[in-house]
């Protein structure tokens, strides 16, 4: 693989990272606002609180469910047809989704917006990571994935804070046009359209269809793809599923738990998500830069799963701002140890099918994002602490499994 000069890489890399940041800001904006938004839309039909919780979980899950279906489709096509067009499609889908959510006047309209956005934006994250992978050598791959993770984390920082505060804006204008309605709840979503358009302009200006030296294949005379998943890749995908399930279950249940049991308002919930994203953004590049002579990649994964597990298992004991925010920070530190390592290891499995493998990971992430909110909100109705215990237990089991596998490999050698 031919690596371009650092100077020539700055524009494309900056564009990709900014695009990832904007999309994750959109994900983050909805987190603190959704319980209040759904409650407002459900008042007229007279929906009870349990049904509202169900819709919160379903609306959170339907977006990654669509991504689960389309991630691999877009990833495989980008391996053959090139990356740029799919990144453009993802940004256009993101803009459309924000406009539709901002104008929503009913729960069905929210579902339409989330489904449409999920299908179209499914291309963005795996194809952007594949583009970054195409531009880097295997030795520098982990740094690129860490910066990608940092962009995602920064979006999660800014998004919830922006969503929480912009939704409280004293905006009195209320315009109705058929089924569409513009009011103060529209502000966070329309505000996101501005940076999304800027990202689209940067993509059109700075990205080639494929970066120089990439291994993207032409569709002409292409060899039939190998549909089997090698065992080492399958293990990494299972670990990805466990991690993502625990993360999204926590994110969804935290909003409900903080609102109903801790009496947090939207800005205070937003601060929790901001702290999570902030510390993930800070520590991902720090942990990635640690010399493997001091801490191996496996060691980072084991430590990350243990730290994240402890934070979730202790979370039901929290009863004040300091402890709640402290445990969120601890959870973020664990995530910073896990996320970039998994993405890097997956991207290195097959240099000629990078986007396909990263799309598998994105699909598994989406599966976790579907199961997390649905199971998390269902368990909350049974016992408010159950989702934290389940997530923590799965993370502990994963850490022990990695530890046992590592010990077995050393024993065999």
87-125 pLDDT tens trace: 999 999 999 999 988 888 788 888 999 999 989 988 888
Under 8 Å between Cβ of 6 and 187:
no
**pLDDT mean over 117-144:** 80
Q: Report the distance separating Cα 391 and Cα 216, nearest Å.
A: 37
Predicted confidence band at 183 (pLDDT cuts at 50, 70, 90)?
Answer: low
147 vs 118, residue with greater confidence: 118
For residue 60, the model assigns a pLDDT of 78
Tell whether the model's pLDDT for residue 214 goes beyond 70.
no
Which residues, 6 or more positions from 332, have their beta carbon under 8 angstroms from its beta carbon? 275, 276, 277, 278, 279, 280, 283
57, 61, 62, 65 alpha-carbon torsion, rounded to 10°: -160
pLDDT at residue 282, rounded to an integer = 84
| CATH number for the domain formed by residue range(s) 6-213+229-412 | 1.20.1250.20
The pLDDT, as a whole number, for residue 181 is: 62
pLDDT(348) > 90: no
pLDDT digits (tens, 9 = 90+) for 399-410: 998 888 777 767
- 234 CB-side CA count, 13 A: 5
pLDDT at 201 > cutoff 50 = yes
Max mean pLDDT range (11-15, 17-21, 251-255, 353-357): 17-21
Mean pLDDT of 262-283: 81
Find tokens 């640690």 and name the residue. Answer: 290
d(CA 241, CA 64): 13
* pLDDT score recorded for residue 233: 81
Q: Which of 172-186, 217-231, 311-325 has the lowest mean pLDDT?
A: 217-231
pLDDT in tens, 41-85: 765 555 666 677 778 778 877 887 887 788 778 877 887 788 889
pLDDT of residue 222 exceeding 70? no
pLDDT value of residue 230: 74
Does the structure show a pLDDT above 60 at 6? no
Confidence of residue 334 (pLDDT cuts 50, 70, 90): very high
The whole-number pLDDT of residue 394 equals 95
- What's the confidence (pLDDT) of residue 238? 92
Query: What local confidence, expressed as pLDDT, does residue 24 receive?
Result: 86
pTM of the model: 0.68
- Name the H helices within 315-353: 321-347
Return phi, psi of residue 14, to 5°.
Answer: -60, -40
Q: What is the mean pLDDT of residues 277-290?
A: 80
Per-residue DSSP letters for 96-116? HHHHHHHT--SHHHHHHHHHH
Q: DSSP string covering 35-65, please?
A: HHHHHHHHHTTT--HHHHHHHHHHHHHHHHH
pLDDT of residue 223: 39
Report the pLDDT averaged over residues 131-160: 76
User: What is the average per-residue pLDDT within 263-270?
Assistant: 77
- pLDDT category of residue 182 using cuts at 50, 70 and 90: low
Greater model confidence, 155 or 308 = 308
**Residue 175 in 3-state DSSP?**
strand
Query: In the prediction, which pLDDT does 94 show?
Result: 93
CA distance 254 to 31: 10
Look up residue 14 and give its two tokens.
Answer: 């900056």
* pLDDT for 218: 40
Given this model, what pLDDT does residue 43 score? 58
SS3 state of residue 239: helix
Burial of residue 401 (CB within 10 Å: 0-12, 13-18, 19+) is middle
Q: Which residue has the higher pLDDT, 272 or 310?
A: 310
Residue 364 has pLDDT above 80, yes or no: yes
Using alpha carbons only, give the angle 142, 145, 146 rounded to the nearest 5 degrees. Answer: 85
| Average pLDDT across the chain, whole number | 79
Percent of the chain with pLDDT over 70: 81
């Amino acid at each position: 693989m031919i690596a371009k000069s650092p100077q020539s890489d700055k524009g494309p890399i900056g564009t990709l990272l900014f695009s990832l940041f904007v999309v994750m800001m959109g994900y983050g904006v909805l987190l603190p606002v959704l319980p209040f938004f759904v409650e407002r839309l459900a008042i007229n039909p007279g929906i009870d609180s349990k049904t509202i919780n169900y819709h919160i979980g379903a609306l959170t899950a339907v977006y990654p469910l669509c991504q689960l279906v389309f991630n691999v489709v877009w990833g495989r096509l980008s391996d053959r047809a090139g990356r740029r067009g799919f990144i453009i499609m993802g940004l256009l889908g993101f803009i459309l989704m924000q406009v539709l959510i901002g104008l929503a006047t009913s729960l069905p309209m929210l579902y339409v917006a989330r489904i449409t956005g999920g299908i179209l934006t499914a291309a963005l994250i795996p194809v952007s990571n594949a583009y970054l992978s195409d531009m880097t050598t295997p030795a520098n791959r982990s740094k690129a994935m860490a910066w990608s993770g940092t962009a995602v984390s920064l979006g999660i920082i800014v998004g919830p804070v922006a969503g929480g505060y912009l939704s409280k804006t004293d905006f009195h204008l209320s315009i109705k046009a058929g089924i569409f309605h513009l009011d103060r709840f529209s502000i966070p979503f329309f505000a996101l359209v501005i940076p999304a358009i800027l990202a689209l302009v940067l993509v059109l200006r700075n990205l080639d269809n494929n970066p120089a030296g990439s291994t993207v294949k032409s569709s002409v005379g292409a060899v039939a793809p190998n549909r089997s998943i090698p065992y080492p890749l399958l293990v990494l995908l299972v670990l990805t599923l466990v991690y993502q399930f625990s993360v999204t279950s926590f994110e969804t249940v935290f909003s409900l738990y903080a609102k109903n049991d801790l009496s947090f308002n939207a800005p205070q919930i937003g601060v929790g998500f901001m702290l999570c994203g902030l510390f993930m953004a800070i520590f991902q590049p720090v942990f990635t830069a640690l010399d493997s002579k001091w801490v191996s990649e496996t060691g980072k994964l084991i430590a990350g799963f243990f730290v994240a597990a402890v934070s979730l298992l202790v979370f039901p004991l929290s009863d004040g701002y300091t402890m709640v925010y402290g445990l969120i920070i601890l959870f973020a530190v664990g995530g910073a140890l896990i996320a970039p390592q998994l993405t890097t290891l997956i991207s290195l499995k097959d240099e000629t099918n990078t986007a396909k493998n990263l799309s598998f990971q994105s699909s598994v992430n989406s599966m976790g994002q579907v199961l997390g909110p649905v199971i998390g909100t269902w368990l909350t109705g049974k016992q408010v602490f159950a989702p934290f215990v389940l997530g923590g237990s799965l993370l502990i089991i994963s850490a022990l499994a990695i530890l046992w596998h590592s010990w077995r490999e050393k024993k065999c050698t």
